[in-house]
Structure 1
């Protein structure tokens, strides 16, 4: 299962990181999209995440590992077509296709990881898979940095999508599943005992969308970052993440979820304040790097759920969590785009500050929730 997930993570990373690297410059340079247009595209990108609950019904027909493989193929198709549709409507279509593949794979990836690995193994496996993701991102960034001088957007998107499709096709020929694991509940179910996991996941999704939708757009629109500069920034991020993620996984085991998540939210409060008020292109880029690194601390939310959840609730919990994560994500990019155009871009990042502070406060409830789970056990 580890090798199976590793290959799919690598293929997904190549396509998705390439899409992220090229999208903003493609949208501005070729499609001439406005801030509002970018907000619409990013909001649409999160609709499949909101519909992640449907994965529970899909796995009634197709097994989880096969759905993971098919999802990566769909992700590759969406990315491969992006360069052929440089309009707002075209990007909405290809983004939806790409996003269904990405979000359904991530749902299956997290579910399989938490099912197949123990409480102490899961953070380490997550850290290693994130390192593989980061390494793939570095290679993609280096490739784009060099190829951007010789290839157009259409060819680069096609090549990146093709890699993901090939990895998904390979995975369809493999069966890494085991038959001795607890049977998963394959229905939508919300349980009050998981309330803290739900709330932290919701806030994480809302805050993350501000970063995904508007951090790079700020660098491009306000500080005039070129595609090569954005690519270099992604490369720096992922080189650091390659080394940091295994350390973060070990930190979750050593210090616990509350400490790791508290560090994340305190740091993000400072980062979003910096986005709002800095006038330095260099400082804005540095904040983006810090933002990207501390995002990986969010694995603590998933390992916290693994510790408090019944084993048969893992698959449904990941699907419900993905849906909750994207409830706010569906409308925040659109609302942020409106705020960016009609008020001031600072209001977008100050809203993220409030979300970070709320998450920091709620994280302090984690020890009590773990004690309750142990007492039930």
Structure 2
């Protein structure tokens, strides 16, 4: 039985989730959009340096399982707001430290807040939303975040192109704007009580193994896009910070238009078909990155690649359908740690591979997508407790 949560008037859990979905796009998207140009133009990074930085950025994700221990002392909702404070402040001060060491420190602060927030957001969303409404509402949250990103990237383009502001001031403005939204949420919304008491210990269940495996592989896929696809645009095709910002504008325009529809699509066709579609597409996208020679074609691949991210919410709804409701908080932290087991390794090791063969990095990405595809085929048509994994031999024997 899924719990429903009531707020006072418009101060509902769903609106709370909508508003916090604005903060990360404003802060983290700014950090991400400017990063490749900032580190190349002002910190003289090589491919190995950016790989190191991104690996350090993923360390807090690897340690996300510690969230369940922090919850012994602080409620999830308050912990989420504290995490967002770390994220926004970390972004705001990034531009003041244009060196390898400085960026490692500010990135660690920002990333700790980001990964704790994402862990807690997944946990609270799956607790507060019913199984029937979760796919569409989660898609709606992505759409809201995309709209916030559109506004953010439009502002970034104006600050960089029209006002010719330095990276330092752009980071400061976007970080403080996100912090202001956080303060509004913190002083406005009440604390929503959970009707299902969450386990305050690490939970690893054998019946969740397929969810763990899918999560593990998604960490590698995400790194190929975040770290190396963007770096390819700047290093190989000479995209400026304003060019990258426009590219992100296109990305988030597509997400704003289609994310809610993608949520409905997942609710209609099921998690297995949605994820199979995603991974088949990714095999082609990564292979395309490996051979692309035209800047326009690379940009098209980048947009398609980003659009596939919305389909990944099918993993969350799959877990919601098979899981004990009391496992949401603990498993969210465990899942982020599993996701980052490979995410910590991929940027630095693939960064070294990049120095000799950028194409090989993306071909290895296609191999990872193939592995994810084989796992997605094991998802049952109707996931539920006791029906976590399909029997592939039974399906092919028909």
TM-score above 0.5, yes or no: yes
Q: How does 1:64-83 map to 2 (within 5 A)?
A: 64-83=76-95
Structure 2, unaligned runs of 5 or more = 1-12, 390-398
Kept in 2, the 8 Å contact 1:198–1:321? The answer is yes
Per-residue CA deviations over 1:81-105 (Å, capped at 9, x if unaligned) read 1100111111111111110111111
Partner of 1:365: 378
Partner of 2:15: 3
TM-score, with normalisation over the residues of structure 1? 0.97
Kept in 2, the 8 Å contact 1:262–1:360? The answer is yes
Query: Residues 177 and 365 (structure 1 numbering): CA distance in 2 closer, same or farther, change over 3 Å?
Result: farther
Q: How does 1:346-361 map to 2 (within 5 A)?
A: 346-361=359-374
Report the CA distance between 1:368 and its aligned residue.
7.2
Where 2:201 maps in the other structure, the secondary structure is coil
1:338 aligns with 2:313: no
Partner of 2:177: 163
Structure 1, unaligned runs of 5 or more = none
Per-residue CA deviations over 1:108-142 (Å, capped at 9, x if unaligned) read 11111000011111111111110111011111111
1:22 aligns with 2:37: no
Partner of 2:108: 96
Deviates further, 167-176 or 256-265: 167-176
CA distance in 2, matches of 1:112, 1:57: 16
TM-score, with normalisation over the residues of structure 2? 0.92
1:236 aligns with 2:250: yes
Per-residue CA deviations over 1:153-189 (Å, capped at 9, x if unaligned) read 1110001111222222233324544445210001112
Structure 1 runs of 4+ with >6 Å offset: none
Kept in 1, the 8 Å contact 2:223–2:346? The answer is yes
Where 2:151 maps in the other structure, the secondary structure is helix
Per-residue CA deviations over 1:195-244 (Å, capped at 9, x if unaligned) read 00000000001111111111010000001011111010000000010011
1:41 aligns with 2:41: no
CA distance in 2, matches of 1:360, 1:171: 40
CA distance in 1, matches of 2:14, 2:343: 30
Query: Residues 97 and 180 (structure 1 numbering): CA distance in 2 closer, same or farther, change over 3 Å?
Result: closer
Per-residue CA deviations over 1:268-310 (Å, capped at 9, x if unaligned) read 0000000001111110000000000011100000100000000
Partner of 1:125: 137
Query: Residues 163 and 275 (structure 1 numbering): CA distance in 2 closer, same or farther, change over 3 Å?
Result: same
Where 1:366 maps in the other structure, the secondary structure is coil
1:13 aligns with 2:3: no
Where 1:173 maps in the other structure, the secondary structure is helix
CA distance in 2, matches of 1:179, 1:10: 23
CA distance in 1, matches of 2:34, 2:47: 16
Report the CA distance between 1:374 and its aligned residue.
5.1
CA distance in 2, matches of 1:326, 1:242: 27
CA distance in 2, matches of 1:365, 1:174: 44
Kept in 1, the 8 Å contact 2:119–2:332? The answer is yes
Query: Residues 375 and 69 (structure 1 numbering): CA distance in 2 closer, same or farther, change over 3 Å?
Result: closer
1:248 aligns with 2:255: no
Kept in 2, the 8 Å contact 1:266–1:356? The answer is yes
Query: Residues 372 and 309 (structure 1 numbering): CA distance in 2 closer, same or farther, change over 3 Å?
Result: closer
Kept in 1, the 8 Å contact 2:55–2:345? The answer is yes
RMSD: 1.5
Count of aligned pairs between the two proteins: 375
Kept in 2, the 8 Å contact 1:52–1:320? The answer is yes
Kept in 1, the 8 Å contact 2:208–2:388? The answer is no
Report the CA distance between 1:375 and its aligned residue.
9.4
Q: How does 1:122-161 map to 2 (within 5 A)?
A: 122-149=134-161, 150=163, 151-161=165-175
Where is the helix percentage greater, Structure 1 or Structure 2?
Answer: 1
